[in-house]
Amino acid sequence: MSAAVQTELERTRVRARRRQQSKNWTLFLLFAGPNILLILAFIYYPLFSNMYYSTLDWRLGSSSATPVGLENYASFFTSASGIEVWRVTGIFTAGAVLGSMVLGLLIALVLNKKIPGKTAARTAVFSPYVLSGVGVAMVWNFIFDPTRGGLAHILDFFGFDSPEWYLNEDWSLLMVIVVYVWKNLGYCAVVFLAGLQSIPKDLIEAATIDRAGPIRRFVSVTLPLLTPTVFFLLVTNILFSMTNAFDILRTMTPSGHGTNTIIFEIYLQSFGAYQRAGYSAAIAVVLFFTLFFITAVQLRFVERKVHYS
Amino acid sequence: MRRGSWLDAFSRQNLADTIFTGYLPIFVALLVIVLPLAWMVSSSFKPPSEIVTLSPTLLPQDPTAGNYGDVVDRVPLLTMFGNSVYVTLVGSSIKVFLAVTTAYALVFIRVPGRNFIFLGILVALMVPPEVSMLPNYLTITSLGGRDTLWGIILPGLGTAFGTFLLRQHFKALPKEMFEAAELDGAGHFRKLFQIAAPVSIPAIATVGLVTVVNEWNSFLWPLVITGSAEKMTLPVGLNLLQSVETQAGSYGILMAGAVIVIVPMLVIFAALQKYIVAGLTQGSVK
C-alpha cells in the first residue's frame, strides 16, 4: 500500500469518526437535551441568580433595589432574629432526626423478629411517609387543640391539663417535631430493617452460644454492623428535616410562632409580610451550601471510612 | 438441655418473649400510626355538635356526610381535585419520559463529557426546590405563568432523581441484549423503546410512583405561584380552607378536606407499596 493511499484512508477514517460523533451529539441532545435545559433553567439559573439577589436590599414587587454587598448575610448570622432561626433549626433538626431514628430502630428491631403479620405492619408504619404534609398537619392540628382535641381528652383522662400548644413557643416547636417524627419514622424503620436483614444470622447465633444476652448482642454485634445504615440515615434525615418540613410548619403554625426553621424563614421573608426578597435569597444560598457541605461530608468521609468490623 | 426442639416455640419463655417484645410494641406502634388517621375519618363524618362536645366518642354517633358538602360550598373543591389530578398526571408523565430518555442517553450514547454532564445532574439533585423558589417565581411570572396550571408544572419538570435512578438501572442491563439488536440494525430509538424501556418496566414504575406521590403532595411551589382558588391544587386549597374555617365546630369540615387529600395516596400506596418503598429508600441498602 502506498503512503498516499494510507493517508487517504486515514482521512476517511477521521471524517467517518467525526460524522459519527456529530450524529451522536445530535442524538444525545435529542434524548437528554430537554431535561438538561430544564435543569439549567429551573435549578442552576436560580441557584446563581439567588447569589446575585442576596447582595441586594430589595422588596419583592419593587422595581428598585440597592446593592448592599454581604449585609444580608451578616444580618442573618448576627441579628437576633437570624440567630433565633439557627436555634430553632438546630432544635428541630436534632429532635426530628433523633426522634425518628430511635423510634424507627426500635420498630425495625421488633419487625425483624419472626412474627406473622409483620409485612402488613411494615406497610402501615411506612404509610404516613407518603401522605400529604398539609393533610397530616390538619389532622394533628385537631388532635393538639387544647380544648377539643383528642390529646386534650387523653390528658384530661389521666388528670392533666393540656398545655397551650399553639401559644407557647417551646410547646409549638415540640408539637411540630412530634408530627414530623410521626410522618418520618416509618422511613427510618424500613431502612433499618433492610440493614438488620443484611446482618449474617450466624454472627448473632455465635454470640448467643457465647451466652451474650439480648442487650449485649445488640450493643456488640448488631449495632457495629449497622453503622453504615446509621450514618446513611443520619445524613439523609438531616437533609430531609431541613427541607421537607415546610408543609407541616406552614399548616400548623401559619405565621411561624417559635417554629421558624431555615426553610420556613426563606418563605416568610420573601412571601410573608416582610417581602425582604434579598434577605430571603441570602438565607437560601446559606441553606444550599449547608446541604452541599453535609452531602460532601457523606460522600467523602462516611461512605469511605465507615466499614464493617 | 436440648436446644432447637419444636417444643421450645411453645415454651412459656418464648411465648412471653413474643408477646412483650413482638406483638405489644407493634400494637402500640400501629395504634400511634392508625389512631390519628381513624380520628380524621371519623371526625369527617361528625356533625359540629359532636366535634365541640366535651365527651367525644371515636365513632360518630349520628354520622353525616354534611362536612363533605360544606367543603364543596367553601372552596371549589372539585376544581382543585381536578387540578391536582391534572398537575400530577401531566407532570409525572413528562418527568418519567424525560428521565428515561436522559438516562438512556447517559448510558448508551457515546459523547465526550457525558460523565461530566451526569455530575452536573447529581449536583442538581442536591438543590432543594425551596432554594430555587424566588428566581423561579420571577421567571414564571414574567412568562405569564402565575396562577396557571402550566406555571405549577413547568419548573418541576427537569428531573435529576429519576435520571439518577434509571441510569443506575440501565447500566446494569446485559450488554449482549443491545449488541444483538445492533447486529439486526436497530438504532438508538429502537434500542430505547423496544429493549431498554420494556425490560425496565418495574424500575420505571418505581420512578413513576415516587414522582406521583411527590407531585400530589407538593405544596410550597403551588402555594407561591397560585393566587385564585380555581387554579389551586388540593394541598394549597385546603390550606386556604383552614385559614377561613377557624371555629372549633369546623374541624369536621377540615377533616373532610384532609380525607380528600390523604386517602387517594393511601389507596395507591396500599396497592403498590413495594415499588414506592423501593424508590423512596433507594441507595440505602449497600
Predicted complex: ipTM over 0.95: no
Closest partner residue to B36 among A41, A139, A291, by Cβ?
A139
Spatial distance between the Cα atoms of B265 and B255, rounded to a whole number of angstroms: 16
Residues A212, A232: Cα–Cα separation, whole Å: 28
A107 CB-near residues (< 8 Å, 6+ apart): A125, A185, A186, A189, A192, B25, B26, B29
Q: What is the pLDDT of residues A14-60, one digit of tens each?
A: 888 888 888 889 999 999 999 999 999 999 999 999 999 999 988 88
Residue A120's pLDDT is 86
Is A308's pLDDT higher than 70? no
Instruction: Specify whether the CB–CB gap between A112 and A106 falls below 8 A.
Output: no
| Per-residue pLDDT tens over the stretch A172-187 | 999 999 999 999 999 9
Residues of chain A neighbouring B258 (CB-CB closer than 8 A): 135-136, 138-139
pLDDT digits (tens, 9 = 90+) for A94-128: 999 999 999 999 999 888 887 777 888 888 999 99
Closest residue of chain A to B276, computed from CA coordinates = A130
Average pLDDT of the residues of chain A: 88
Measured between beta carbons, the chain B residues lying within 8 angstroms of A107 are 25-26, 29
Kindly determine whether residue B265 and residue A132, on different chains, have CB atoms separated by under 8 Å: yes
Confidence (pLDDT) at A302 = 62
Cell numbers placing A21:
460523533
Q: What is the CA radius of gyration of chain A?
A: 27
Q: Which residues in chain B have Cβ-Cβ distances shorter than 8 Å to A123?
A: 269-270, 273
Report the gap between the CA of B159 and the closest CA in chain A (Å): 7
pLDDT at position A174:
93
Nearest CA in chain B to A147: B54
CB-CB under 8 Å, B128 with A41? no
Instruction: Render pLDDT for A214-273 as a digit per residue (tens, 0 to 9).
Output: 788 888 888 888 888 898 899 889 998 988 899 999 999 988 888 999 999 999 999 887
Output the pLDDT for position B264. 93
Residue A302 gets which letter from DSSP?
Answer: I
pLDDT of residue B1: 44
Nearest to B284 by CA among A3, A193, A258: A193
Q: Any chain A CB within 8 A of the CB of B197?
A: no
In tens, the pLDDT along B174-190 reads 888 888 888 888 888 88
CB A218 within 8 A of CB A112: no
Nearest by CB: A42 against B158, B224, B257:
B158
In this prediction, residue A243 carries a pLDDT of: 86
Cβ B98–A198 below 8 Å, yes or no?
no
Contact in structure between A97 and A211 (CB atoms under 8 Å): no
Cα B205 from Cα A141, distance rounded (Å): 34
Across the range A6-18, mean pLDDT stands at 87
- Closest residue in B to A157 (Cα) is B55
How high is the pLDDT of residue A277?
92
Q: What is the pLDDT of residue B5?
A: 53
C-alpha B169/C-alpha B102 separation (Å) is 13
Q: Is A56 helix (H, G, I), strand (E, B) or coil?
A: strand
Chain A residues touching B284 at Cβ < 8 A: 191, 194-195, 229, 232-233, 236
Residues 6+ apart with CB under 8 A from B170: B103, B104, B107, B108, B196, B200
- List of long-range contacts for A197-206, beta carbons under 8 Å, 24+ apart: A197/A112, A198/B285, A198/B286, A199/A225, A199/A226
Cβ <8 Å between A246 and B261: no
Residue B219 has a pLDDT of 94
Residue A307 confidence (pLDDT) above 80: no
Q: Tell me, yes or no, if B56 comes closer than 8 A to chain A by beta carbon.
A: yes
Question: CB A43 to CB B132 under 8 A?
Answer: yes
Contact yes or no for B261 and A24 at CB 8 A: no
CB A248 within 8 A of CB B112: no
Contacts of A28 in chain B (CB under 8 A): 105, 109, 111, 114
User: CB–CB of A25 and B26 under 8 A?
Assistant: no
Output phi, psi for A57, to 5 deg: -95, 105
Q: Residue A167: its pLDDT value, please?
A: 82
> Which residues have a Cβ under 8 Å from the Cβ of B9 and sit 6 or more positions away?
none
Low-confidence ranges of chain B (pLDDT < 50): 1-2, 285-286
Tell me whether residues A229 and B284 touch, CB distance under 8 A.
yes
C-alpha span between B176 and B185 (Å, rounded): 14
> Is the CB of A24 less than 8 angstroms away from the CB of B265?
no
Residue B61 near residue B84, CB atoms below 8 Å: no
Residues of B in contact with A25 (CB under 8 A): 111
Distance from CA of residue B170 to its chain's centroid? Answer: 23
More confident residue, A66 or B83: B83
Handedness of CA A151, A156, A158, A164 (dihedral sign): positive
| Residue contacts between A and B (CB atoms, under 8 Å) | 275
Shortest CA gap A111–chain B (Å):
8
Partner residue facing A139 (CB), from B40, B224, B239: B40
Q: Do B25 and A107 touch (CB under 8 A)?
A: yes
Q: Write out the three cell numbers for A218.
A: 445488640
Q: In chain B, positions 65-104, which contact chain A (CB-CB < 8 Å)?
A: 98-99, 101-102, 104
Contacts for A169 with CB less than 8 Å, ≥ 6 apart: A257, A258, A259
- How confident is residue A309, by pLDDT bands cut at 50, 70 and 90? very low
CB atoms within 10 A of CB A298: 17
Read off the DSSP letter of residue A112: T
Asked if A24's CB is within 8 angstroms of B286's CB, the reply is: no
Residues 6+ apart with CB under 8 A from B108: B170, B178, B188, B191, B192, B196
State the sign of the Cα–Cα–Cα–Cα dihedral B144, B146, B149, B150. Answer: positive
Nearest chain A residue to B225 by CA: give it. Answer: A271
Contact partners, residue A73, CB within 8 Å, separation at least 6 = A54, A282, A286
Residue B283 burial by Cβ neighbours in a 10 Å radius (0-12, 13-18, 19+): exposed
Q: How far apart are CA A200 and CA B107, in angstroms?
A: 34
